[in-house]
Structure 1
Amino acid sequence: MNQFQQARNQVLNQIKNACDYARRDPATVRLLAVSKTHPSQSLREMYQLGQQCFGENYLQEALDKIEELKDLDIEWHFIGHVQRNKTKQLAEKFDWVHGVDRLIIAERLSSQRLDTQSPLNLCIQVNIDAQDSKDGCQPDEVAELVEKISQLPHIRLRGIMVIPAPDHSQAFIDAKELFEQVKPQH
């Protein structure tokens, strides 16, 4: 068993244990492998082991990998902060974008998504615990963003994304409550 298979199996086992604890079907959870800085050949090996979803946060590195691995049916996720000047490539090349924190970014992604593509899956990034070093909208801005982004024609709003401070378990509770508050709007 190689290092990728061993690491993947360990994470899948942790997911199964968490699902058992939460009384949730593990089949409803998908593992997103963060593949930044790993070469394309490593992703190819992971794909052959069954990993289909890969997350990147460096756009140019991701675009190179997408081109090199276009023969594989990979679901590509962009997990970095989205800059206005990068939206066209994100809209055209990715299946998911996790770091949207402003309406203008979502509007650009929607308008730049090709009509032949399925809607772009999008998560709103929320700075759940007001860290100065983190990107994301404020929790009190989420409801309005959900309302407006939900109306965009080439976007499928899928949820919120948070990166809480280490050892800040309250942030997960806050994020869940925020999600439940805005879920009926979508």
Structure 2
Amino acid sequence: MSDRQTELTQRAAELAEELAEAAVRAGRAAEDVSLVAVSKLHPASDIRALAEWGQTDFGENYVQEAMAKQEELADLAVNWHFIGGLQSNKAKFVAGNFGLVHSVDSRKLAQALHKKAESLGVVQDILIQVNIAGESQKSGITVENLPQLAEEVREMDHVRLVGLMTMPPFFNDPERARPVFARLRELKEALEGRLGAALPHLSMGMTGDFVPAVEEGATLVRVGTRIFGARPPR
């Protein structure tokens, strides 16, 4: 095992243990929380090293970079997550190539994913990204417009809504993000009642705030820096 693989797997193992402990503290099963290793801007060799160790879920932000990695790593049985902002004109490259798209925030984008998925004869799983704090620099639909978008997505046969995603404001104290995570859980529960369908996933929590996210119900935690170290410049 190379020094880099040892470093990556040790970090991932420590993180997995912390995620499991947070879940148990919240009265949940450790297996209810999945780690999405955010591999954007890191080489395919890092992904291969972690996949050989047992990491299965990887998150990418940039379409062209992600597709190049998918081609290079086609022999690996991993789950690809698209977690970055996505323009509708690039949806055709994402639908069918990612197990889950975390960042749907408009009907236009959902329709673009639906159209491509329909042409491929597949159903694309998606999350709706909610901008709970109303930050102008971040993507995500408003809380007020979430129910309408969810209803519209439910009418599309080739996209399947499976939950919600959010990115809270940056806080030095991770506890300050807890109300945002709790609010997303409440929104999910309200939508489940409205739609009459289960929404199994809450994608929330990153390197600095994953503990309160898990304690508030996260099922998917997106962590990059803690595993891979500082990202190289793009």
Task: State if a TM-score over 0.5 links the two structures.
Answer: yes
Q: How many residues align?
A: 186
| CA distance in structure 2 between the partners assigned to 1:52 and 1:172 by the alignment | 24
- Normalising by structure 2, report the TM-score: 0.76
- 1:90-118 deviation line (CA, Å, top 9, x unaligned): 01311111111001111110110156664
Give the CA deviation at 1:125. Answer: 0.7
| CA distance in structure 1 between the partners assigned to 2:49 and 2:121 by the alignment | 27
| CA distance in structure 1 between the partners assigned to 2:46 and 2:156 by the alignment | 36
- 1:145 is matched with 149
**What letter matches 1:46 in structure 2?**
L
Is 1:172 the equivalent of 2:186? no
- 1:49 is matched with 53
RCO higher in structure (CA 8 A, sep ≥6): 2
| CA distance in structure 1 between the partners assigned to 2:179 and 2:87 by the alignment | 29
**How well do the aligned residues superpose, as a CA RMSD in angstroms?**
1.5
Stretches of structure 1 that go unaligned for 5 or more consecutive residues are none
1:127 to 128, 131, 155: 131
Stretches of structure 2 that go unaligned for 5 or more consecutive residues are 172-176, 198-234
- Normalising by structure 1, report the TM-score: 0.94
% identical aligned pairs: 35
1:183 to 165, 169, 192: 192
Give the CA deviation at 1:151. Answer: 2.1
**Residue pairs, 1:57-72, within 5 angstroms:** 57-72=61-76
For the structure 1 residues 106 and 182, does the alpha-carbon distance in structure 2 shift closer, same or farther, using more than 3 Å as the test?
Answer: same
**Residue pairs, 1:26-45, within 5 angstroms:** 26-45=30-49
1:113 to 112, 117, 131: 117
